[in-house]
Amino acid sequence: MYRRAKEMWVARGGYPGGRAVVLAGPEAQEVEALRDYFRLPPAQVLFVDRDPRGLYVAEKKWPGVGTFHGELKDALQEVDEIGFLNLDFMGKYDRNVCLSAKAARGKIKLGAVIAYTFFKGHEYEGQWGFRRQKSVIEKVLGRPTRTTDEIRFAGSAACLAEDFALATLQYRWSTSYRSMTERSIGSPMGVLLLQNSVY
Ligand SMILES: C[S@@+](CC[C@H](N)C(=O)[O-])C[C@H]1O[C@@H](n2cnc3c(N)ncnc32)[C@H](O)[C@@H]1O
Number of domains present in the structure of the chain? 1
162 pocket-lining for ligand 1 (C-beta < 6 Å): no
Owning domain of residue 38: 2-196
At residue 103, the pLDDT reads 97
Ligand 1 center to 46 CA (angstroms)? 13
Q: What is the CATH number of the domain that holds 36?
A: 3.40.50.150
Dihedral over Cα of 79, 82, 86, 91: its sign: positive
* Ligand 1: centre distance to CA 11 (Å): 29
Distance (Å, rounded) from C-alpha 130 to C-alpha 67?
32
Residue 49 in contact with ligand 1 by CB distance below 6 A = yes
Q: Is 112 helix (H, G, I), strand (E, B) or coil?
A: strand
Note the pLDDT of residue 91.
Answer: 87
Mean pLDDT of the chain: 94
Check if the beta carbon of residue 169 is closer than 8 Å to that of residue 199. Answer: no
pLDDT of amino acid 38: 95
The 10s digit of each residue's pLDDT in 23-45 is 999 999 999 999 999 999 999 99
Quick: pLDDT tens for 77-132.
Answer: 999 999 999 999 988 999 999 999 999 999 999 999 999 999 998 888 888 999 99
Distance 29 CA to ligand 1 centre (A): 11
- Please list the alpha-helical segments (H only) found in the chain: 2-10, 31-32, 53-61, 72-77, 95-103, 128-141, 148-149, 155-163
| Size of the chain in residues | 199
